[in-house]
Every structure is written in structure tokens, then in C-alpha cells.
């Protein structure tokens, strides 16, 4: 398995092939560990998502996928997305109705998604401190936290 990818490094211009390879290798390993099947369709959808760090919509994915399988339907994409999300390989950005590949699916991670509204890149970065603060708050409210949506829009270092 390739090395862990560094949050900060990946946001600079970088050799993106490494990101793709890392994501796909992690996917194979995770699916095999979990005893679930990374089928050809699922793998291809993951590849398409990981082509860039820009969030991509389900119907954009469908258009791309159709180039290879012209009779593909929306449900094909959504099923693959559901699988990939359940496996932690892909995250949905709720505020965009779009999807990104996870660059650290092999690790437990507590992250925020930083979304640049200019260049449209979306990166997950570690936000352990934020989670700690949030869980302390939950505790004080006697709220039992289960699923967090944490998306910060703004301008990235390159675009600000």
C-alpha cells in the first residue's frame, strides 16, 4: 500500500496520479478487508470521481460513464455511490449535492471539507480539534452525536 497522503501537500500543485493510485489501492484493500466487492462499475465510478479534487455531481458522473456504457441509467450511478459512501471511499458534499473521493479512507479520520468556491476544489483536512469541541458541546446538551456534516466554503490559498 502506498504512503499516507498529507493534507497540506495535496492542496499544492501535485502529481495527481499518486492520489488516484492511492485511492484505488486503498479501495481494493478496504473492500477486501470488509468482504465486499469492488466491482468493475464501482471501481470505474470511483476512478471517475478521483479524476480531480473537484466535487462531481451524480449526473456529471453519469455523462462520463455513458461514454463507456451508453445505456447506463442514474440508478447505476447512485447505487455505486451508495456503495462507495458506505465503504467510506467517497463522501457526499451536502451543500453541493456532489461527491469527492476520500484520500484517507484507510484511516479513521475526523475531517472538515474545505471547498474553494473559485476553483471548486474540495479537500478533506483533519479537524480533530473541531470534533472534540463539538462533542463536548453535544455532551453538554445531552445530545448523542451520530453523523456530522461539516463543510466550509471559501477561497483556497491559491485563489484568495
**Residue ranges in contact with Zn ion by CB under 5 A:** 16, 19, 116, 118-119, 156, 159
Q: Which residues in 14-33 contact DNA (CB under 7 A)?
A: none
- Taking CB under 7 A as the binding criterion, the range among 46-54, 72-80, 113-121, 149-157 that sits at the site for DNA is 72-80
Which of Zn ion, its own copies, DNA, none does residue 72 bind to, with CB < 5 to 8 Å depending on kind?
DNA
Least Å distance between CB 2 and Zn ion?
13
Which of its own copies, DNA, Zn ion, none does residue 119 bind to, with CB < 5 to 8 Å depending on kind?
Zn ion
Pick from 84, 83, 87, 47: nearest CA to 64: 47
Residue 136 or residue 159: which is nearer to Zn ion going by CB?
159
- Taking CB under 7 A as the binding criterion, the range among 1-9, 47-55, 65-73, 120-128 that sits at the site for DNA is 65-73
Q: Which of 2, 8, 32, 33 is close enough to bind its own copies by CB under 8 A?
A: 8
Determine the Cα–Cα distance for residues 56 and 96; give it in Å rounded to an integer: 9
Q: 3-class SS at 68?
A: helix
What would the grid cell of residue 11 be? Answer: 492542496
Query: What's phi and psi for 109, nearest 5 deg?
Result: -150, 145
Q: Tell me which long-range contacts 81-84 makes (C-beta under 8 A, separation of at least 24).
A: 81/45, 83/36, 83/42, 84/27, 84/42, 84/45, 84/46, 84/49
Is the torsion defined by CA of 142, 147, 150, 151 positive or negative?
negative
Binding site for its own copies (CB under 8 A): 8, 11, 94-95, 112, 114, 116-117, 125, 127, 129-130, 132-134, 136-138, 141-157, 160
Amino acid at each position: 500500500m502506498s504512503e499516507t497522503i498529507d493534507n497540506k501537500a495535496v492542496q499544492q500543485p501535485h502529481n495527481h496520479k499518486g492520489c488516484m493510485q492511492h485511492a484505488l489501492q486503498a479501495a481494493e484493500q478496504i473492500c477486501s478487508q470488509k468482504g465486499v466487492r469492488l466491482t468493475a462499475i464501482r471501481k470505474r465510478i470511483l476512478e471517475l470521481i478521483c479524476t480531480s479534487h473537484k466535487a462531481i455531481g451524480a449526473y456529471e458522473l453519469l455523462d462520463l460513464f455513458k461514454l463507456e456504457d451508453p445505456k447506463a441509467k442514474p440508478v447505476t450511478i447512485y447505487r455505486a455511490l451508495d456503495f462507495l459512501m458506505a465503504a467510506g471511499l467517497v463522501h457526499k458534499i451536502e451543500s453541493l449535492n456532489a461527491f469527492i473521493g476520500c484520500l484517507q479512507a484507510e484511516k479513521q479520520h475526523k475531517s472538515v471539507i474545505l471547498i474553494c468556491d473559485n476553483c471548486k476544489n474540495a479537500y478533506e483536512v483533519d479537524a480533530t480539534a473541531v470534533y472534540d469541541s463539538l462533542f463536548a458541546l453535544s455532551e453538554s446538551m445531552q445530545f448523542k452525536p451520530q453523523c456530522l456534516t461539516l463543510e466550509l466554503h471559501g477561497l483556497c490559498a491559491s485563489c484568495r
